[in-house]
Amino acid sequence: MTISKSNGFIRKYGVIFGLVGIIIFFAIESPNYFFTPSNFILISKQSSINILLALGEMFVILTAGIDLSVGAIAGLVGAVSAGTIVATGNLFLGLAAGIGVGIAFGLINGVIVAFAKVPAFIATLATMSAITGITLIYTQGEPIWNLPSSFDFIGQGNLADIPFSIILMALAFIAAWIILEKTKYGRHVYAVGGNIKASRAAGIKISAVLVSVYAISGLLSAIGGIVLASRLGTAEPTAGSGYELDAIAAVVLGGTSLFGGEGWVVGTIIGGYIIAVLNNGMTIMNISAYYQEVVKGLVILLAVMLTSFGKKYWNE
Amino acid sequence: MKTFLVVALMIAGIAALSMAMTIGFCVSTLNNPYFVSFTNGAKAEAQLLGINLIVMNANNSNSTQLNQVEDLIQRKVDAIILNPTDSDALVPAVIAANKAGIPVITLDRSVNGGRVAMYIASDNVEYGRLEAQYAVKLLNGSGNVVLLTGIPGASATRDRTKGIMEVLSQYPNMKIVANQTAQFDMATAMSVMESILVAHPDVNVVIAENDEMALGAIQAIKAAGKSGIIVIGGDGIPQGIQAVKNGTEAVDIAQQPYKMAALGVSAAFFVVNGISLNPTSLSMPLFPVTKDNVDQWIASGD
Amino acid sequence: MDILKVEEIKKSFSGVNVLKNINLSIKSGELHAIVGENGAGKSTLMKIIAGELEPDSGKIYLNGKEVQFHSPLDAINSGIALIHQEFSLVPQLTVYENIFLGREISKRFLGINFVDRKEMKKEAQAVLKTFGIENIPVDSKIKDLSVANKQLTEIAKALSTNSKILIMDEPTAALTLRETEKLFSILTNLKSNGVTIIFISHRLEEIFQIADSVSILRNGELIATKQINEVSMEEIVSMMIGKSMSNRFPPKPSKKIGDKFFEARNLSSDSFKGINFSLRKGEILGIAGLVGCGNTQVGESIYGLRKFDGEIYFEGKKINISKPTDAIEHGIFLVPEDRHDLGLVLQLSVKENHSLPNLDLFSKVGFVSTSIEKKSVKDTISYLNTKVSSINQRVDNLSGGNQQKVVLGKWLVRSPKILILDEPTRGIDVGAKFEIYKFIYEQSSKGVGIILISSELAEVLNLSDRILVMSEGRITGELDPQSATQEDILRLAVKGKES
């Protein structure tokens, strides 16, 4: 969405400089391994699941909500898809079942938030817990494996030498960009997050917007969950746990305001890449796990501080 | 006929002894096939002995488990079988049970305080040693090693890493090129291994501190189009055993969670009936499963 | 004797000179008004005096001694308190807790300091009583108070710190006439107790009613300081806007008022009862009343923002309005009382706010056409003379007048039939007010029916073709603006209140 020239510059582009800075650092430290085309494809592949979830999360955060259930939905969808495929041998039935479950739980989140007026944090915290439980019941705590090789394609296959998961991520990004930047609906999402009362007064159907953003989040979580299960060739009962935090981190790193109404799709992609590049680069450099956590925390803090500092500076 | 009578009397006796016996069974987590199998073993044994088993899952939270033990004490169960989430954090729970006169049996992980009637676990240091010994053996004492460790700070991670290091330090040609945590998690292991392969395309062996991480590493190796890298895992979960059979995992240091928990329930049964146990700690044997013995292992059904 | 004197104060933000060399003296015990258009630098100057901002250069003298404030606390300790337009009260706390916030009275018990609520309540009561506002319950929560009582609490809080200089930034903007009168009597009382008051206001009538002297700021410069009795309202206005303006209101157009096309029958809700009125094409119908009389609620109900009973007839048919979309479909639009709350999405740009209710007109199969949209925004901006740096400028960076023009402009796209204007010039400077009045005339000349809800009596009297007055949720009378006076409106506005 357009941001005024006067105060949007750092908010919008600061995160790009951040990513470039991190890439330059690792490129200097590890020119032979890190800074190679194949490693960038690998990073894209590794970030694809988180970015799929983050794009859905972004729609929700733009309306000043939050969806804590994205990881749980991804886990359940992976299990349902895998389970259905194993039970019926039908790949497309499995994918449809998974996507259906994802959208259904997204809709449930949306209805709870829009109509029962439960704060999004509490509503999705509750559904996160419930969905995690449903996954454990469904899988009985056991991973589902022995999946047909046709299922592997989604997370492991290539299309014209490009990993299919990257193609899925790119498609989701383009769709999100078009919806948010170019459509009436996208404008409504920003407006509802910016000022719900003024949006209602402008004739926008608030509950329709709210329900739909959670459904979109459910759909993208479902796709992420399927990619995850396919990448591993296994639907783990605990797959997806903790993914909500990485998704929220990517969105916020990308400059989207947790208060709603402000954000940039490209920023979310960059936020996702920052997390993936950090993980990849530090592993390549064989940095100890203890330090990795500290570095990740500091980078997130620094990026967010830079953004808010930039905002303040330009506003004055 | 006589034997029949004896057996019948024994069963009757056992049934009488276990009349209305209630035992609390506190498992650290059920989000892991290892502990699912573990809990199934306890349930099966309890059913056989006619014990009312109350299963409580702490979801890896120390405070949840402490609350659960306190609840069981409140319910005046006859014994508590505890699979602690942490060796130190659950000491107060054991002491509280001691005070209430309820015997405690710990499984899989010890508790560093209080009185415990019986402690059964696999030796995690030995687990690590076995993994490393197989790595040394398969590479004739020389090669590039990737180490995938468990959740940082967890006792299983500490002990297994200690065992692995103990062995590898004796072989200067076994070079650890990467030592990274993968949180005992398959998806994390896959991403970490993918990145490691970028920096170290010449890896010879991956030692993973459980099967989930070994399976993640196998996926990463497959995705990178590599072959000839030896992967060593442990725990003996079905998917791991299958990987050994397929030849993708070289060795799986199998534990026997099902039998361990079943033994724990029998021990509780004896203790409640006033039979003192000696010794008070048991180490469950570990079985390295390889391509050579995998069919036997599957046939034995654990 | 000057209690406060500022010398050669300069301040700039990101290269823009907001204050250029200000010299100002305030006499002890006077009520000194500061006027100027939005952006003239009034608030910045006050913030510097109150220690919230530090000047780039210049000096401040208090009782002849130079002082340097690095924080509001420095100023408070020197006896200067600033009361903001946005209150600095904690809504979840009570009146007395707010009054003593940060300097709670404590009592020692067993060597531990405990908050002495009893004593604090008693003290708070005493403070309120000093200023004749003891009717505010000290233990009610701030969020439950009316705007006026919040204001008074804020004043009580400032004065309980023994302030000698009280700076008030537009204290009457959100007050009713009656509350304003009450505030003024309290200010007069304070003045007689030796408190010096600096008072920012847009309402020139008020200044003539209460101020001793007035300073006029324009574009960061002090134009003049005058004793109130040696200056006229027209002179102040022309100094404020830099050109002489013979009248605050544009000349009335000669227009033909058309047929009755809108009728409200027996509208009732929680906030009003038995409302009946009609509106003709091209008519400006003023609905006057004190804040809380229900006129805002009537306007919001007709626009579909509130639930109500009763019937609405429009263009000969009974129509059903239960949500804003219903009203929008019929060409009935609301310009709300609080534009930040209901009128604008502050994070979005001028363009996006303009388009918000009009996206259906600007899009094809759900996709927004940038060219149609841009043209519409640009046309509207130039028609209304809205000052923006670009159509992508965020609306929260605009002045009040320009923000209001964005709100007005977005409805122009849809060719309004009825415009409900609720306090359309609140918080807007004189120049922009004049333009909005012109706009109202132009629309009515085109045949748009206008419902003008306002508590500014001069505005209602000058603009309206017919005036309804409300009190306590009922219409208490109808007046002809040709013959009616402000007193007539007031009499009807308080009717039913005394009994």
Distance (Å, rounded) from C-alpha A150 to C-alpha A169?
Answer: 20
Q: Measuring CA to CA, how many Å separate A271 from each of A18, A136, A242, A248, C400?
A: 9, 31, 17, 10, 36
Q: Which DSSP category does C57 fall into?
A: E
Reported as a single tens digit per residue, the pLDDT across C454-490 is 877 888 888 999 999 998 889 999 999 989 888 888 8
Which positions of chain C have pLDDT values less than 70? 14-16, 38-39, 85-87, 174, 243-247, 496-499
Q: Do chains B and A touch (3 or more CB pairs under 8 A)?
A: yes
pLDDT of A288 over the 90 cut = no
* pLDDT at residue number C292: 76
pLDDT of B211 over the 80 cut = yes
Q: What's the gap in Å between the CA of B201 and the closest CA on chain A?
A: 10
Do the Cβ atoms of A289 and B181 come within 8 Å? yes
Confidence grade of residue B14 (pLDDT, cut at 50, 70, 90): low
Q: Which DSSP category does B154 fall into?
A: -
- Tell whether the torsion through CA atoms of C288, C292, C297 and C300 is positive or negative: positive
Higher pLDDT, A66 or A257: A66
CA diameter of chain A: 63
Instruction: State the alpha helices, DSSP H only, in B139-210.
Output: 155-168, 186-199
From chain A, the residues in CB contact with B186 under 8 A are 143, 232, 234, 236, 239
- Residue A64 lies inside a defined structural domain of this protein: yes
* pLDDT at residue number A277: 92
Extract the runs of DSSP E, i.e. beta strands, from B50-98: 52-57, 79-82
Nearest to B68 by CA among B49, B87, B52, B90: B90
* pLDDT at residue number C203: 78
pLDDT of A3 over the 60 cut = no
Confidence grade of residue B228 (pLDDT, cut at 50, 70, 90): very high
* pLDDT at residue number C232: 86
- Residue A315 lies inside a defined structural domain of this protein: no
Higher pLDDT, B16 or B86: B86
**Residue whose pair of structure tokens reads 């450099």 in the numeric block:** A285
Reported as a single tens digit per residue, the pLDDT across A46-105 is 899 999 999 999 999 999 999 999 999 999 999 999 999 999 988 999 999 999 999 999
pLDDT of B18 over the 80 cut = no
Q: What's the gap in Å between the CA of A69 and the closest CA on chain B?
A: 18
In this structure, are residues C62 and C164 in contact, taking their beta carbons and an 8 Å threshold? no
Confidence grade of residue A5 (pLDDT, cut at 50, 70, 90): very low
* pLDDT at residue number C33: 93
Q: To the nearest whole number, what is the mean pLDDT of chain B?
A: 88
Nearest to B146 by CA among A34, A293, A286, A35: A286
Reported as a single tens digit per residue, the pLDDT across B136-146 is 999 999 999 99
- Residue A129 lies inside a defined structural domain of this protein: yes
- Tell whether the torsion through CA atoms of C325, C327, C328 and C330 is positive or negative: positive
pLDDT of B2 over the 70 cut = no
For residue B295, what are the contacts with CB-CB under 8 A and spacing of at least 6?
B245
Helix (H, G, I), strand (E, B) or coil at A161: coil
The number of folded domains in chain A is 1
Confidence grade of residue A309 (pLDDT, cut at 50, 70, 90): low
* pLDDT at residue number C247: 66
For residue C15, what are the contacts with CB-CB under 8 A and spacing of at least 6?
none
Confidence grade of residue B9 (pLDDT, cut at 50, 70, 90): very low
- CB of A296 within 8 Å of a chain C CB? The answer is no
**Residue whose pair of structure tokens reads 């408070």 in the numeric block:** C76
Mean pLDDT of B69-95: 89
The shortest CB-CB distance from B36 to any of A141, A234, A239 is to A141
In this structure, are residues A59 and A109 in contact, taking their beta carbons and an 8 Å threshold? no
From chain B, the residues in CB contact with A136 under 8 A are 30-31
- Tell me the CATH class for C260-493: alpha beta
Q: Please, what's the b/e burial string for B173-184 (b: 16 or more CB within 10 A of its CB; e: otherwise)? A: ebeebbbbbbbb
Q: Please, what's the b/e burial string for C462-471 (b: 16 or more CB within 10 A of its CB; e: otherwise)? A: bbbbbbbbbb
Q: What's the gap in Å between the CA of A121 and the closest CA on chain B?
A: 22
- Residue A195 lies inside a defined structural domain of this protein: yes
* pLDDT at residue number A286: 85
In this structure, are residues C427 and C173 in contact, taking their beta carbons and an 8 Å threshold? yes
Distance (Å, rounded) from C-alpha C59 to C-alpha C23?
Answer: 9
User: Mutual orientation of helices A206-232 and A91-114 as an angle, nearest 10°?
Assistant: 140
Set out the domains of chain B in order of their start, with CATH numbers: 2-116+257-284 (3.40.50.2300), 124-254 (3.40.50.2300)
**Residue whose pair of structure tokens reads 């783990």 in the numeric block:** A236
The residues in B 222-251 lying below 8 A from A, measured between CB atoms, are 222-223, 238-239, 242
Domain limits, chain C: 2-241, 260-493
- Residue A282 lies inside a defined structural domain of this protein: yes
Question: Bridge partners of A144?
Answer: A235
CA dihedral of residues C215, C218, C219, C222 (deg, nearest 10):
-40
Q: What would the two tokens of residue C242 be? A: 């830099």
Convert C154-215 into a string of H (helix), E (strand) and C (coil).
HHHHHHHCCCCEEEEECCCCCCCHHHHHHHHHHHHHHHHCCCEEEEECCCHHHHHHHCCEEE
Put the strands of the sheet holding B230-235 in their side by side order.
B174-181, B143-149, B205-208, B230-235, B251-254, B287-290
In this structure, are residues A229 and A82 in contact, taking their beta carbons and an 8 Å threshold? yes
**Residue whose pair of structure tokens reads 């419902």 in the numeric block:** C451
pLDDT > 70 in chain B, percent: 93
Q: Is A9 exposed, middle or buried (0-12, 13-18, 19+ CB in 10 A)?
A: middle
Helix (H) or strand (E) holding B120: strand B118-122
* pLDDT at residue number A237: 84
Q: What's the gap in Å between the CA of B274 and the closest CA on chain A?
A: 36
Distance (Å, rounded) from C-alpha C355 to C-alpha A188?
Answer: 10
Mean pLDDT of B95-116: 91
Name the residue type at position C83.
I
Interface of C with A (CB under 8 A): 13-14, 303, 305, 323-325, 328, 334, 336, 341-349, 351-352, 355-357, 359-360, 362-363, 366-368, 389-390, 392-394, 397, 410
- CATH number of the structural domain spanning residue A142: 1.10.3470
Q: How far apart are the first and last CA of chain A?
A: 22
Instruction: State the alpha helices, DSSP H only, in A140-264.
Output: 149-156, 164-182, 184-194, 196-201, 206-232, 243-253
Q: Measuring CA to CA, how many Å separate B197 from each of A30, B174, C281?
A: 14, 17, 78
Convert A90-151 into a string of H (helix), E (strand) and C (coil).
CHHHHHHHHHHHHHHHHHHHHHHHHCCCCCHHHHHHHHHHHHHHHHHHHHCCCCECCCCHHH
State yes or no: cis peptide before B103, omega within 30 of 0.
no
pLDDT of B114 over the 60 cut = yes
Question: In this structure, how many other beta carbons lie within 10 angstroms of the beta carbon of residue C311?
Answer: 12
**Measured in whole angstroms, how far is the alpha carbon of residue A294 from the centre of its chain?**
22
- CB of B151 within 8 Å of a chain A CB? The answer is no
From chain B, the residues in CB contact with A272 under 8 A are none
- The CATH architecture annotation of domain C2-241 reads 3-Layer(aba) Sandwich (3.40)
**Measured in whole angstroms, how far is the alpha carbon of residue B102 from the centre of its chain?**
25
- Residues of the domain holding A286: 9-306
